[in-house]
């Protein structure tokens, strides 16, 4: 699970609490806005919990150069995972080379520093065919995961979308479900559909429900 706090009003005290919860429950990562990356990298230092941040968030509409620059700063500051938002408009317009090049620019920066990239497709804007195309482009660009949504778009994760993404990428990539996952039942349904990473701000509630 990626323990997530991306709200605009998050304070350092909030982020410290999230890091402590992630360490207690041994989550995969803490995902925050890039301002807090140096802070969480220090808080999580020496643990197995990765520092994760978002790139081009939440719209994906920043220039490719801006996304690459943001990625360089993030990995230099200690991020080990980058969740980037795809160029949604370009994907909708079937400008496939732009989408792939945009993803590849972030992947290069990340992989050169030993970090991984999750590509947020923001499925709520896309048809099933466009979701599949986005997955293939992320795969071709060398990304490590595809991800359903930002949590700030028109809809969150659905089991149908997760299953489609898993069928499209096979076993070669990870699939992260995020957006509206608030309960253990939600999380288990996403795992059953094919997700191997869950992003949620309700991570503690979810894992505590297991007991």
117, 139 Cβ separation under 8 angstroms? no
Catalytic residue among 67, 102, 118, 147: 147
Bridge partners of residue 200, in order along the sequence:
3
Q: State the virtual CA torsion across 129, 136, 184, 15 in degrees, nearest 10.
A: -120
67, 84 Cβ separation under 8 angstroms? yes
210, 158 Cβ separation under 8 angstroms? no
Catalytic residue among 83, 102, 144, 186: 83
Contacts of 168 (CB under 8 A, 6+ apart): 131, 132, 135, 136
Whether 147 is a known active-site residue: answer: yes
φ, ψ for residue 170, nearest 5 deg: 65, -145
Active site residues: 83, 147, 176
């Amino acid at each position: 699970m990626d323990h997530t706090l991306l709200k605009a009003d998050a304070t350092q005290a909030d982020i410290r609490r999230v890091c402590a919860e992630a360490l207690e429950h041994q989550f995969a990562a803490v995902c925050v806005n890039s301002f807090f990356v140096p802070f969480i990298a220090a808080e999580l230092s020496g643990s197995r919990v990765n520092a994760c941040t978002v790139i081009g968030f939440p719209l994906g509409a920043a220039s490719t150069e801006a996304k690459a620059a943001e990625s360089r700063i993030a990995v230099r500051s200690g991020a080990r995972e980058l969740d980037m938002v795809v160029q949604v408009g370009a994907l909708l317009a079937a400008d496939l080379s732009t989408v792939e090049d945009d993803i590849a620019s972030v992947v290069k920066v990340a992989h050169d520093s030993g970090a991984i990239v999750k590509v947020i497709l923001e499925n709520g804007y896309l048809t099933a065919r466009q979701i599949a195309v986005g997955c293939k482009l992320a795969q071709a660009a060398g990304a490590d995961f595809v991800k359903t949504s930002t949590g700030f778009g028109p809809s969150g994760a659905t089991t149908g979308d997760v299953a489609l993404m898993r069928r499209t990428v096979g076993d070669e990539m990870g699939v992260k479900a995020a957006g509206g996952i608030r309960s253990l039942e939600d999380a288990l349904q996403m795992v059953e559909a094919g997700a191997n990473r869950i992003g949620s701000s309700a991570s503690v509630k979810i894992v505590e429900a297991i007991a």
